[in-house]
Amino acid sequence: MSAPFEVTFWGVRGSIPCSGPATARYGGNSSCVEMRCGDRRLVFDAGSGIRQLAATMTGPQEFDLLFSHFHYDHVIGLPFCAPLYRPHTRCRLWGGRTGMETGVRQVLSDFMAAPLFPLRLDFFAGNLSFHDFRPGESIDLGDGIRLQTAALNHQDGATGYRVEFAGRAACYVTDTEQPEGRLDPGILRLIDGADLFIYDCTYTDEEYPAHKGWSHSTWQEGMRLADAAGVGTFAIFHHDPGHDDDFMDGVAAQAEQARPGTIVSRDGMSLML
Ligand SMILES: [Zn+2]
Ligand SMILES: [Zn+2]
């Protein structure tokens, strides 16, 4: 049997966490996705969803934390990632240099600083290392895990990831906006033939004109990308906080009709590739 490749969504919202009865079924945590590649654990973004993931991380931990970018919805959970405070944790933190010259360590130091937060980055007692790369680079994570990265079209920059392991590929592509009238060739290359494609679906095509230039995309654009690149499963992600469960049910029904097998991600959902 080949090594397991499992993907779990711990936070599926964009912009801001949104708890409450109207979002209880799809979930209100902001972006955090875990990929387990055999014994290795890769975590994409540290939105508020990382707190629930952290609750499963008991005992000594070793994992990679890879940031798409550093907007609040993708880092706000970092100070609540409990294993980082434990000395037997090893964590490699990765960030793309997306137009700014500040590296991942400095960005997170600036975020965990008075008066914004009471604990500084050096309160983390785990063994943390910080790694900067240029989007477009490929990275060998060892143990047969290869990462391909690509620059996304987002305010302040963002990085998309493709993870290849055990003959399968899963892509995490958020936050981004498509160029007018065509599909982003960099994303098409990144997701080519992937088994799973997780994408920024903040809006619908109908809502998009009112949000043009806001650096986000639509589920229909994601589906066009998935079709053009011959992707296996397309996963709708980074839901707008204003889209309640009933609205998301409507998206799910339309998406299922347009591309059967499409997933509308929910907090706590797991997929085995
Ligand atoms: Zn976001
Ligand atoms: Zn963003």
What is the distance of C-alpha 2 from the center of its chain?
Answer: 25
Q: Both tokens of residue 145?
A: 């895990």
Residue 2 binned pLDDT confidence (cut-offs 50, 70, 90): confident
Ligand 2 mean position, distance from CA 84 (Å):
24
Q: By mean pLDDT, which of 11-25, 92-106, 173-187, 228-242 is the weakest?
A: 92-106
Ligand 2 mean position, distance from CA 100 (Å):
15
Ligand 2 mean position, distance from CA 63 (Å):
23
Ligand 2 mean position, distance from CA 18 (Å):
16
Average pLDDT, the chain: 96
CA 4 to each of CA 28, 39, 40: distance values in angstroms, whole numbers, following the listed order: 28, 9, 10
> Contact 260/252 with Cβ under 8 angstroms?
no
| CATH number belonging to the domain at 5-259, selected among 3.40.50.720, 3.40.50.150, 3.60.15.10, 3.30.360.10 | 3.60.15.10
Ligand 1 mean position, distance from CA 31 (Å):
7
Burial of 116 (0-12, 13-18, 19+ CB in 10 A): exposed
> Contact 91/49 with Cβ under 8 angstroms?
no
Ligand 2 mean position, distance from CA 155 (Å):
7
The order of strands in the sheet holding 127-133 is: 127-133, 90-96, 62-67, 40-44, 32-37, 5-11, 270-272
**Which residues are close to ligand 1, an ion, with C-beta < 5 A?**
14, 73, 175
- Return the C-alpha torsion angle 55, 165, 217, 15, nearest 10: 20
Ligand 1 mean position, distance from CA 226 (Å):
20
Ligand 1 mean position, distance from CA 202 (Å):
9
Ligand number nearest CA of 73 is: 1
pLDDT given at position 1: 54
Length, in residues, of the chain:
273
Q: Domains of the chain: which residue ranges?
A: 5-259
Q: pLDDT of 130-175, one tens digit each?
A: 999 999 999 999 999 999 999 999 999 999 999 999 999 999 999 9
Ligand 2 mean position, distance from CA 143 (Å):
31
Ligand 2 mean position, distance from CA 128 (Å):
24
Q: pLDDT of 212-258, one tens digit each?
A: 999 999 999 999 999 999 999 999 999 999 999 999 999 999 999 99
Q: Identify the CA nearest to 239 among candidates 11, 14, 47, 49.
A: 14
Q: How many other CB atoms are found less than 10 A from the CB of residue 44?
A: 27
Burial of 77 (0-12, 13-18, 19+ CB in 10 A): buried
Ligand number nearest CA of 71 is: 2
Burial of 43 (0-12, 13-18, 19+ CB in 10 A): buried
Q: What is the pTM of this model?
A: 0.97
pLDDT average, residue stretch 74-87: 97
Ligand 1 mean position, distance from CA 224 (Å):
21
Q: Both tokens of residue 234?
A: 């397309």
* pLDDT > 70: percent of the chain: 99
Q: What is the largest CA-CA distance in the chain?
A: 51
Q: Rounded CA gap, 218 and 108, in Å?
A: 29
Q: Identify the CA nearest to 195 among candidates 132, 272, 120, 131.
A: 272
Ligand number nearest CA of 16 is: 1
Q: Both tokens of residue 195?
A: 């088994």
Whether 124 shows a pLDDT value over 70: the answer reads yes
